[in-house]
Amino acid sequence: MAEIKDVDVNAPPPSAESLRKAILEERMKEVAKEQAHRSSQNEALNQFTESFLRDQVSDEEIASVRRVAMNAVKNGKYEAMVYTFPSMLCTDSGRAINSADPDWPETLQGKARQFYERYLQYAKPQGFRLSAMIINFPNGMPGDVGFFLSWKSEVQ
């Protein structure tokens, strides 16, 4: 609520009813603001979901994965999280990934499936390993999935 600076001390005080009404109006403004923000977030998530499930992995997304891996190498790392997406976009909402089920790739769809297939085709034959894990738990539920690409030697 905005701070009121100029007060006429000679004016009659506002009624209790008008003060209650002012508080209610301020609360309603805040609720409307929160609803607009939530609506905007939902719209963005809906657009992301549509793109994730419908579109093909872009050259820019592939280049981004390569940049992330090369930056990890520059930092002396043998693994990097190269892709994330909401677990709700798995057919089981991320349960197989969360429980380390060996069949977790079967739950992938959309771009996650495409990235996994690209891994099988290009990266795995080159000695890379891919793992997936739930990286956050908002409200105690699986949140986002992270794909981790590793190039660490198995003999270390």
Looking at the chain, the whole-number percentage of residues with pLDDT higher than 90 is 74
Spatial separation of the C-alpha atoms in residues 154 and 120, rounded to whole Å: 18
Spatial separation of the C-alpha atoms in residues 99 and 96, rounded to whole Å: 5
Please check whether residues 104 and 75 belong to one and the same domain.
yes
Q: Is residue 71 part of a domain?
A: yes
Structurally, the chain folds into a number of domains equal to 2
pTM of the model: 0.74
pLDDT band (50, 70, 90) for residue 7: confident
Please check whether residues 31 and 107 belong to one and the same domain.
no
Q: Is residue 116 part of a domain?
A: yes
Q: Is residue 65 part of a domain?
A: yes
Spatial separation of the C-alpha atoms in residues 81 and 63, rounded to whole Å: 14
Looking at the chain, the whole-number percentage of residues with pLDDT higher than 70 is 97
Token output for 41: 């977030």
Please check whether residues 139 and 100 belong to one and the same domain.
yes
Please check whether residues 64 and 85 belong to one and the same domain.
yes
Instruction: Provide the residue range defining the domain that includes 74.
Output: 56-150
Please check whether residues 61 and 127 belong to one and the same domain.
yes
Do 116 and 105 form a contact (C-beta atoms < 8 A)? yes
Spatial separation of the C-alpha atoms in residues 15 and 150, rounded to whole Å: 68
Give the pLDDT mean for 122-144.
Answer: 95
pLDDT band (50, 70, 90) for residue 44: confident
Kindly report, residue by residue over 92-114, the tens digit of the pLDDT: 999 999 999 999 999 999 999 99
Q: Is residue 131 part of a domain?
A: yes
Q: Is residue 3 part of a domain?
A: no
